[in-house]
Amino acid sequence: MEKHKTLKLIKNSKHLPQIPKSFGEILNMLLAPCDFNMDECIEKFSMHPQLEATLIKVLNYNSKLNREIVSIKDAVVYLGAKNTRLIAISYITRLLLPDRKGRAKIFDNSTYWKHCIGTSIASYMIADRTGLCDKDKMFIYGLIHDIGVTVLDICLPEHLDKIHMLQQKGLHQIAAEKIVLSGITHSDIGMWLCKEWGLPDEISEIVGFHHTPLLSSKNITEVEIMHLADSISTNYYEKLLGNETTFLYSEKIMEALGVNKECIDEIVDRIPQEVKKVDRVVDFKF
């Protein structure tokens, strides 16, 4: 997989954001708070001044604090593992979506970003309704579930435009990707990237299998929720593009999650309004 010519093109493009594997080690620590080693985590944070500065700035922006946070130790102690993890993953999203602008000429980056937000919202709602996993975590994962697409937009914009043109002719996204990318998809690219950066297996599984949840062997519930959320948001995204395409929801996944049609219909109705809210307040410049 690592020798695939598309991945070589991405590596050689000189546009791929560089995230050292030590950053992935931080996320692994934060995903397992029972084994959380505060001193070790703080030491690794100190290796990433930008992330450290982001955490401190976010906290000091909160007007409810009665004192200024001046160090990464103060920040992690105050936030706790869960909230620190959310901001750390948001930081990855910020690197992948600089100024929310891609390089593709035909592919509509800003509209696709709304699909990512829609997936975040839908996965949050499903997790909230079912109580099967951490809803805040699922929201953040929704933002980066399609990092394979955003990497193409940044590194190989011509390829993404070709894919989009095939889609406009009626070809399914995955089929179009396999034609243009010599047999691989944005999910494959995203999973490879997660491994390159040393990101937690939980994130890698969601990124790699959200289109093929039945092939996943780890974090199955999270992958199934992301699959259903992505399907819900894809219908929303297609409407934004003016397409009449309708994607069917997997009855097997719905049954596994205990989600019925009424629940999905309610999420569908709420997505447009919720996307507008999130799009207004999410700021990756911090």
CB count, 10 Å around CB of 188?
20
Asked whether residue 14 is assigned to any structural domain, the reply reads no
User: What's 237's domain CATH number?
Assistant: 1.10.3210.10
Cα 209 to Cα 201: distance, rounded to the nearest angstrom: 12
The pLDDT of residue 163 is: 96
Same structural domain, 193 and 129: yes
The domain tally of the chain equals 2
Q: What is the DSSP string of 178-222?
A: HHHTTT--HHHHHHHHHHHHT--HHHHHHHHHSS-GGG--SSHHH
For residue 259, the SS3 value is coil
Give me the domain span that covers residue 239.
Answer: 99-286
Same structural domain, 84 and 103: no
Flag residues of the chain having pLDDT under 70.
Answer: 33-36, 58, 61-65, 89-101, 243-245, 280-286
Asked whether residue 12 is assigned to any structural domain, the reply reads no
The pLDDT of residue 286 is: 39
Cα 88 to Cα 45: distance, rounded to the nearest angstrom: 10
pLDDT digits (tens, 9 = 90+) for 202-225: 999 999 999 999 999 999 999 999
Domain end, chosen from 63, 78, 96, is at 96
Domain end, chosen from 47, 65, 96, is at 96
Q: Where are the beta strands (DSSP E) in the chain?
A: none
Asked whether residue 2 is assigned to any structural domain, the reply reads no
Same structural domain, 135 and 119: yes
pLDDT digits (tens, 9 = 90+) for 70-122: 888 887 788 777 777 777 766 666 665 545 567 899 998 888 888 999 999 99
The pLDDT of residue 82 is: 74
Cα dist. 270→99, 121, 125, 224, 266 in Å?
A: 26, 9, 10, 21, 6
Same structural domain, 164 and 117: yes
Cα 91 to Cα 144: distance, rounded to the nearest angstrom: 11
Same structural domain, 205 and 82: no
The pLDDT of residue 61 is: 66
Asked whether residue 149 is assigned to any structural domain, the reply reads yes
Asked whether residue 258 is assigned to any structural domain, the reply reads yes
Same structural domain, 32 and 106: no
Averaged pLDDT score across all residues of the chain: 86
Same structural domain, 166 and 184: yes
The pLDDT of residue 63 is: 47
Same structural domain, 103 and 183: yes
Domain end, chosen from 79, 96, 113, is at 96
Same structural domain, 165 and 268: yes
Same structural domain, 149 and 268: yes
State the residue for tokens 């940044």.
Answer: 154
Same structural domain, 141 and 276: yes
Same structural domain, 89 and 103: no
Task: For residue 176, report the phi and psi dihedrals to the nearest 5 degrees.
Answer: -65, -40
Asked whether residue 237 is assigned to any structural domain, the reply reads yes
Asked whether residue 174 is assigned to any structural domain, the reply reads yes
Asked whether residue 113 is assigned to any structural domain, the reply reads yes
The pLDDT of residue 97 is: 55
